[in-house]
Amino acid sequence: METVAEVLGDTNAKLQKTFEALKNQFSGLRTGKASPAMVDGIKVDYYGMPTPIKNLGTISTPEARQIKITPFDPTVLDAMNKAILAANIGVTPQTDGKVLRITVPELNEQRRKEIVKVAKTQAEAQKVAMRNVRRDANEAVKKLEKDKKISEDDMKQGLDKIQKATDEGIAKIDAELKAKEKEVMEV
């Protein structure tokens, strides 16, 4: 990279990807409401290949606390059932031979607190990732100044902009965590 603007653009893109990764992780956390995202990460052994469950059928939420999975190939129902049980997401699927239904039970207070703890851990991991992006960007800007490609003033301005972008990213993570906590603790 030759300019501070290029480094800043790359940094902003990486910070945004980190935030999107957190949102993706949060979507998989159980909140007492049914969400297709709860089963998105589950892989089913389909003819010897681990295949994402969403590629093997239609996932819908006909009711607030129920997930319905209609497989494209009915022979894969048993494998889906086993994969959901093995994923240990705290639900037990029922099947009628054609579709798989997952009823999401109400969360008790202890389980809600555990989920909030997991969310905080995930948020902290993404904050660390953002700080690592900041560190790499700062090193890149300092290297540009060292190689005499930019002035010292440009370097200081670049470092300030990188810090500001990182602070904004961490603030977005905090806001997302607060919203997730509120959603999980809601009865």
Angle between helices 152-185 and 109-146 (to 10 degrees): 170
pTM: 0.72
Flag whether 74 is in a domain: yes
- Mark whether 98 and 123 lie in a shared domain: no
Whole-angstrom Cα distance, residue 103 to residue 109? 19
- Mark whether 122 and 62 lie in a shared domain: no
Using the structure block, give the residue that is written with the tokens 């998989």: 28
**Final residue in a domain of this structure, among 103, 118, 133:** 103
Please give the pLDDT value at position 65: 85
Count the Cβ atoms, other than its own, within 10 Å of residue 17.
12
CB of 104 closer than 8 Å to CB of 30 = yes
Sort 3 into a burial class: Cβ within 10 Å, 0-12 / 13-18 / 19+.
middle
Rounded average pLDDT over 24-51 = 83
Q: pLDDT tens-digit profile of 53-91?
A: 989 999 999 988 899 999 999 899 999 999 988 887 778
- Mark whether 17 and 55 lie in a shared domain: no
Rounded average pLDDT over 156-183 = 94
Please give the pLDDT value at position 187: 63
Give the CATH number for residue 66: 3.30.1360.40
Q: pLDDT tens-digit profile of 137-162?
A: 999 999 999 998 899 999 999 999 99
- Mark whether 119 and 96 lie in a shared domain: no
- Mark whether 159 and 135 lie in a shared domain: yes
Flag whether 50 is in a domain: yes
Total number of domains in the chain: 2
Flag whether 162 is in a domain: yes
Flag whether 57 is in a domain: yes
Q: Is the pLDDT of residue 11 over 70?
A: yes
Give the CATH number for residue 150: 1.10.132.20
- Mark whether 64 and 116 lie in a shared domain: no
- Mark whether 44 and 16 lie in a shared domain: no
**Final residue in a domain of this structure, among 69, 103, 137:** 103
Flag whether 123 is in a domain: yes
Flag whether 112 is in a domain: yes
Q: In three state form, how does the secondary structure of the chain look?
A: CCCHHHHHHHHHHHHHHHHHHHHHHHHCCCCCCCCCHHHHCCEEEECCEEEEHHHCEEEEEEECCEEEEEECCHHHHHHHHHHHHHHCCCCCEEECCCCEEEECCCCCHHHHHHHHHHHHHHHHHHHHHHHHHHHHHHHHHHHHHHCCCCCHHHHHHHHHHHHHHHHHHHHHHHHHHHHHHHHHHCC
At 175, is the pLDDT very low, low, confident or very high (cuts 50, 70, 90)? very high
Flag whether 32 is in a domain: no
Domain containing 81 equals 37-103
- Mark whether 112 and 23 lie in a shared domain: yes
Flag the least confident range among 26-40, 93-107, 125-139: 26-40
Q: pLDDT tens-digit profile of 103-140?
A: 888 878 888 888 899 899 999 999 999 999 999 999 99
**Final residue in a domain of this structure, among 103, 133, 152:** 103
- Mark whether 76 and 145 lie in a shared domain: no
∠30-26-53 over CA atoms, to 5°? Answer: 70
Whole-angstrom Cα distance, residue 51 to residue 58? 14
- Mark whether 115 and 139 lie in a shared domain: yes
